[in-house]
Every structure is written in structure tokens, then in C-alpha cells.
Structure 1
């Protein structure tokens, strides 16, 4: 008799989707926060034509198109005195911290030590991740809007790669957190969240049933007298047959002709 099968649940796809997008978005936000390339200013009046400034929210670097050397630590009090710089610093750092907290909260809720996911805990972690994405998008969008209006040494201003990475990372966190937060709505017995029961019978020992015994009748030789009580003979069977029998063929028939000289 087979033993009871253990039932476990697969991790829902919406939680896997959120737990993959959130760390990827956090890495992109980290690069966008620390890298000094929110905007690029070229055609500087006091520098050669190959020189350009890379301005971030923490540092400013003077780079060149003909060499790989960067001179960071440039001072520009007018640039750092803009309100958006102070706001962007606080919100970007806050976004990084909130993302880590959201991942720490969502990890045990996904299915860390339990057979079924804890939807309340996972949804709370998704809400924190969603808020961290919003904290990233707001300062980047605001900086992009004011980028042309901020004081610069030249009018040739271009968007830096930190803006692009920040947008992508923020959108990934918003999508991942929102999808995880959808798990708070429980309906249809969890079918809409890809909860499927899977029987795990790999560790269950089964008893092998003993082979069935089949009685085989024994064949005992019987004598002729026991086999039939009706006397018969071979001749009587041949006489009583109602169909003609073939005559036996003689292998070497006798020669009855006259011998010739060649035969002698």
C-alpha cells in the first residue's frame, strides 16, 4: 500500500518576476547615483575643443575625447547650489535603501521556509519596491526637465547615460513591485497566482506486494487402460474411416523388364 504523498506549491510567476526585476533595477539605480554623468557640457570657452564636462549629483569631471584621462573633483558652486541637486541626492539614496528593505521583506514571504508563499509579506515587500522605483523616477524626471535651464559654461548640453540608466532602473522596480503587490488580491483559490499542487512522491517508500501464487495443475501420465475404456485396434480405425487414404509410395520399385547387354 502506497504511503501518503507530500504536497508542495510552486513559486508563483508574479513573485519570480518581481524578485528578478527588483535587483536588476537596484544595480542600475546605483550606477546612476554614483556616476558623474547626468549631463555633458561640451564646447567650453576656456578649454580646448576636445574637452568637456561630465556633471553628476556628487562630482564633476573634466574629460577629453582624445584621451582616457578624467580630472574629477572639479568645483562648481553654482551648479551644486541648485535645489534639484540636493533633492536628487536624498531621493536617490533613499531609493537604494528602500529597495534593499523591500527585498529583505519580500524574500521570506516568497517561499523561503514555507511550502506556500506568504502573500501579505510578499505584497508588503512589493509595495516597498514600487515606492523605491517612484523615488528614482521623480528626481531624474525633474533633473531632465531643468537640465537646459541650469547655469552652464556652454549652451551645448546633452543628456548623460546616468539619466537613461536611472529611468530604466526605476521602471523595472515599479513594474516588479506592482506585480508583486497584485498578489494581495486572493481569489479563485489562488489559481490566478499560479499556485499548483505538485505531489512529491520521490521520498515516499512503497511496499511491494508479494507475487500472487498461481495453481498449475499437474499432468500425470496415464496408462492406456485408464485413458479409454473402449477397445479399438488399428485395423478397425482404418476400416471405419469415411475418406480414401493415399497409397504408400515405394521408394525403389522392383524392375520387371528384360535385361539388356548394357546392364550386364
Structure 2
């Protein structure tokens, strides 16, 4: 369970970290300038914007930890750029970036230690090493959960200059931001990390071995479930008695 859940959680958290869909928002804008770049792009896409008229466009804005994107809905017009401005300088965004990077590093290190501790090519595992790897995986899951919680709690206020603007983006007054799909990948991956690391932590508890009554210091054979002293008994004749 631990050796499967931990890598799966790492992949999901990494996917959430590199995708720009941590929060999304839609805004309806009107195009009135005949020579605007957006109007020219719409003509290039063959969407048939009429000259001199006011057309409404639905823009989709998405932000991640390291990238932001702007796309015209139902078209191929999309532009992405590295995060910048007040959003990049927001201490909560910087905190989430640091926690996610630390979580990925700790989870990768924990998985390596768990693989070394299991030692599938030998009969005796290194339980302490495997359990230490599980502890690192649990810590990484808690760090990513903290980053996701901070970001989700402030999802509409990140990068906003003044408190009077609320959850509205200053460049797009009618843009309302809400949690997006990357957060759900992160939540699922973090929970899998905590579960997988907790399963690996059980390696600290060594299993109890059965011992022989006459020789308590000797373990019971794991194959034949017999005691070593049986092999020391001399051969005896066995008779079958029937009535």
C-alpha cells in the first residue's frame, strides 16, 4: 500500500504544481475598436466579427503557481506567461510555491528510502530505513496540504492590491475567481501521500516471531512450522494399531 500510494501521490502533486489551473475566472468583454488586436485575431480565426459593432467575448483567465493563461472561450486564441506583478509578489503565493517544492523533494527522498528499505531481493528488509522513508512521505503530504489550504482559503484575494476590490481582478472588473482543477489533483495526491506514508510507518513495528517451548531463544521454522529440537530426536519405529 505504501509503495504504491506514495509514488502515485507524488505524480498527482507534481501534475498540480506544473499546471496553471489553480484558480479560474470568466469575464465577458465587449469589442468596440475595429482595429484592435483581439478583433484582428478573431478575424484570423474566421469567427466573422462585424466591423463597427460591439461584440461580447467570454474570456477565461487561469492562474497557477508559476504560470498564468488567458483564453477566448470556444476558440484557439490562448496566451500563457510566467506569473508576474502583485500575484507573483503575494506572500501567500510564495509560501505555496515553497511548500510544494519542499513537499516534492521530501516525497521523492522518502520513496527512495522506502525502496532501499524494502530490499525485495533479500529475505530481511531494513525496516527502520523503510519507516523513515514513510515518515518523510507523511511530512511531504502534510506540507502540500498546508499549501493547498492556504491557497484555497485566499483564492479570490491573491494578487489583489486593495481590500476594497474583493475577489474582483483589477484588470477585469467582472472577473470572479474560484478554485480550479489543479487544486483537486493536489488534494488527492496529498491524501495519497499521507496514506502511503502512514502505511510505511508500520515498518517500525517488528513482527513477533513464534518460539519453541524448550528452546525459547530459537525461532520456529517459517517453512515447516516446526521446532529445531524435533530434528535432534532419533528415528523411532511407528506401529499402526487397529481394533
When normalised by structure 2's length, the TM-score is: 0.67
**Equivalent-residue separation in structure 1 for 2:175 and 2:79 (angstroms):** 21
In 2 relative to 1, CA 46–143 (structure 1 residues): closer, same or farther, beyond 3 Å? farther
Does the 8 Å contact 2:30/2:57 carry over to 1? no
**Equivalent-residue separation in structure 2 for 1:198 and 1:64 (angstroms):** 68
Match of 1:35 in 2: 19
Q: After TM superposition, list the pairs within 5 Å mapping 1:181-200 onto structure 2.
A: 181-189=201-209, 197=222
Deviation at 1:85, TM superposition (A): 1.0
Larger-gyration structure (1/2): 1
Deviation at 1:64, TM superposition (A): 2.5
Q: CA RMSD in A?
A: 2.3
Match of 2:10 in 1: 26
Where do 5+ consecutive residues of structure 1 fail to align? 1-16, 191-195, 200-264
Does the 8 Å contact 1:37/1:56 carry over to 2? yes
Does the 8 Å contact 2:131/2:204 carry over to 1? yes
The one of 46, 59, 62 aligned to 2:70: 62
Per-residue CA shift, 1:88-111, capped at 9, x if unaligned?
Answer: 111111111111111111102112
Deviation at 1:44, TM superposition (A): 5.2
Does the 8 Å contact 1:62/1:74 carry over to 2? no
Deviation at 1:74, TM superposition (A): 6.4
Match of 1:112 in 2: 120
**Equivalent-residue separation in structure 2 for 1:131 and 1:100 (angstroms):** 12
Is 39-48 or 78-87 further displaced after alignment? 39-48
Is 77-86 or 45-54 further displaced after alignment? 45-54
The one of 175, 181, 190 aligned to 1:170: 190
2:94 aligned with 1:81, yes or no? no
Per-residue CA shift, 1:140-193, capped at 9, x if unaligned?
Answer: 111000112332234522211110000000000000001110221225339xxx
In 2 relative to 1, CA 159–121 (structure 1 residues): closer, same or farther, beyond 3 Å? same
**Equivalent-residue separation in structure 2 for 1:46 and 1:174 (angstroms):** 47
Does the 8 Å contact 1:18/1:179 carry over to 2? yes
**Equivalent position SS for 1:158:** strand
Where do 5+ consecutive residues of structure 2 fail to align? 32-55, 161-168, 211-220, 225-243
**Equivalent-residue separation in structure 2 for 1:198 and 1:90 (angstroms):** 51
How many pairs are equivalent? 178
In 2 relative to 1, CA 183–43 (structure 1 residues): closer, same or farther, beyond 3 Å? same
The one of 120, 135, 138 aligned to 2:143: 135
Per-residue CA shift, 1:198-246, capped at 9, x if unaligned?
Answer: 57xxxxxxxxxxxxxxxxxxxxxxxxxxxxxxxxxxxxxxxxxxxxxxx
